[in-house]
Amino acid sequence: GAVVSQHPSWVICKSGTSVKIECRSLDFQATTMFWYRQFPKQSLMLMATSNEGSKATYEQGVEKDKFLINHASLTLSTLTVTSAHPEDSSFYICSARDLRTWGRVNQPQHFGDGTRLSIL
């Protein structure tokens, strides 16, 4: 089945460090990928929609200069948390949907394993 690989799975670093998270679709192409953040005991919140070859679309309240998104190919999107601080500590998850399923209903998205980010 469709697989999305997310790396790294766990990051612990000092405040002020920039952290890059990769999301790859391994056996399908995805012009659009989604980045979510989940705080403890809360639901997944969409941060931004990553579009291949164009600028990402950010949700209200998400700083685009803080969370840099690059989607340079049909199989890779990256999220960089710049100058991370303790309040950025969270579980970050990407998802992607097979390009071939667009336009069809009830086509699920495929999630990466998530990245647990802890900023000290």
Partner 1 sequence: RKEVEQDPGPFNVPEGATVAFNCTYSNSASQSFFWYRQDCRKEPKLLMSVYSSGNEDGRFTAQLNRASQYISLLIRDSKLSDSATYLCVVNIDRGSTLGRLYFGRGTQLTVWP
Which is closer to partner 1, CB of 48 or CB of 84? 48
Which is closer to partner 1, CB of 19 or CB of 110? 110
Q: Residue-wise over 76-109: b if at least 16 C-beta within 10 A, else e?
A: bbbbebeebeeebbbebbbbbbbeeeeeeeeeeb
Which is closer to partner 1, CB of 82 or CB of 111? 111
Residue ranges in contact with partner 1 by CB under 8 A = 6, 32, 34, 42-46, 49, 91, 93, 95, 97, 102, 105-109, 111-114, 116
